[in-house]
Amino acid sequence: MNARPKLVAVFLLLFVVALAACLPAVARAIEQPQLTLTAAPATLALGASTTLTARGAPAGATLTLSRKRGGETDFTVVDTTTAGADGTASWTRTPPESTTFRVDLAAGDTWAPASAEASVGVRPKVQLVAAAPKPLHENQRVRYTVTVRPAQPGATVQLSRWSSGAWATLQDLTLGADSTATAAILAGKPGRLAVRADIAAGADHLAGHSAPWKVAVFDHRNPYGVPTRYPHLILVDLSQYKLYYHEYGNVVRVFKCVLGRPSLPTPHGHFKIYAKDPHMGGPYGPYRMRYLGLYAIHGTDEPWLLDRYPRNYSHGCTRLANANITWLYSRVPVGTPVWNVP
């Protein structure tokens, strides 16, 4: 009479045991992907690209790429793709500012959802332009203009000068609405001047700096940096139409001069006076000093040309007022260096 209930109980027990045995197998069928995302390179200059690579996804799974820029609180979807047979997917991106990228894997029949992130830092483009007299000497100012891209209106940039093996702050500037700032600063002591512009890291960019601007700063008594070993030296600045007479590196006298016409320009370079010719007369004035073939420094019979600007009228020679060539001729021996500088 009691055999049937016992048989039912046995079947129920067997069913429970079989179900319990199956549960671990079901749990083992849902895998947790080891999803990763890398960026190469992870640090960029503005305008450069990085390659984002996702690894560890199931073959054929759908992957969604999102990005969040500095100052943003939420991710924005930018692309969707399918993982390859090796479980990888890649994207090439050119972020305009520092960005965090995220890849998402939705849950599948046999895998759990997963996500991974990678950060890419972007250095802004910092441009420094300097305008200065040529040559530059210590009591003159240099006008610096700094521009930063992407625009950073209101941000602080630093002008720094290379000094004693390190960059030292010269002046802080605030970028205007156009992300540009300007300043006029004294050149400083004679020597080599190197200046660059720096911007500190922010929420949307890494720290960045411009290429250094370099120039020689000369003593105001020797604005062209003429070596002091020369007892006499003539320097003709072709852009200024002026002749500078030096003794031991110091400028003694400065004269206006007429230079070669466009079709017969005065040569630039370093030369030496090889002949002195007195009693010339006519278009040469009273004296002539030759330094390259027939190229010479001499007087003139057209003194009014010295009051014009620009003064390109000769056949390539350097013409001085007759009183000035007379003064210079008596002080300059054969062998005196002549520097014609652009």
CATH number (domain holding residue 93): 2.60.40.730
Both 117 and 209 in one domain: the answer is no
CATH of the domain at 270: 2.40.440.10
pLDDT of the residue at 225: 84
State the pairing for strand pair 312-314/259-260. Answer: parallel
Domain assignment of residue 309, given as a range? 233-341
Both 202 and 154 in one domain: the answer is yes
CA pair distance 199, 45, nearest whole angstrom:
14
Both 115 and 146 in one domain: the answer is no
The answer to whether residue 24 sits within a structural domain is no
Owner of token pair 């007479």? 245
The answer to whether residue 29 sits within a structural domain is no
Among 218, 253, 278, the domain boundary falls at: 218
The answer to whether residue 15 sits within a structural domain is no
Q: pTM value? A: 0.63
Both 100 and 70 in one domain: the answer is yes
Cβ pair 126, 50 in contact under 8 A: no
pLDDT category of residue 57 using cuts at 50, 70 and 90: very high
Both 237 and 337 in one domain: the answer is yes
Q: What is the pLDDT of residues 93-144, one digit of tens each?
A: 999 999 999 999 999 989 999 999 999 999 999 999 999 987 788 889 999 9
Both 113 and 148 in one domain: the answer is no
Both 163 and 199 in one domain: the answer is yes
CA pair distance 260, 99, nearest whole angstrom:
59
Dig out the tokens for 71 from the structure: 């100052």
Q: DSSP letter at 317?
A: -
Both 212 and 179 in one domain: the answer is yes
Percent of the chain with pLDDT over 70: 92
- Which of 44, 155, 154 minimizes the C-alpha distance to 98? 44
The answer to whether residue 23 sits within a structural domain is no
Q: What is the pLDDT of residues 167-179, one digit of tens each?
A: 999 999 999 999 9
One-letter identity of residue 182: T
CATH of the domain at 145: 2.60.40.10
Cβ pair 336, 316 in contact under 8 A: no
Percent of the chain with pLDDT over 90: 81
pLDDT of the residue at 25: 46
Both 200 and 239 in one domain: the answer is no
Both 88 and 116 in one domain: the answer is yes
The answer to whether residue 12 sits within a structural domain is no
The answer to whether residue 10 sits within a structural domain is no
pLDDT category of residue 26 using cuts at 50, 70 and 90: very low
Q: What is the pLDDT of residues 189-198, one digit of tens each?
A: 888 899 999 9
Among 98, 122, 146, the domain boundary falls at: 122
The answer to whether residue 6 sits within a structural domain is no
CA pair distance 253, 245, nearest whole angstrom:
5
Both 112 and 179 in one domain: the answer is no
Both 238 and 335 in one domain: the answer is yes
The answer to whether residue 28 sits within a structural domain is no
Among 171, 187, 218, the domain boundary falls at: 218
The total number of structural domains that make up the chain: 3
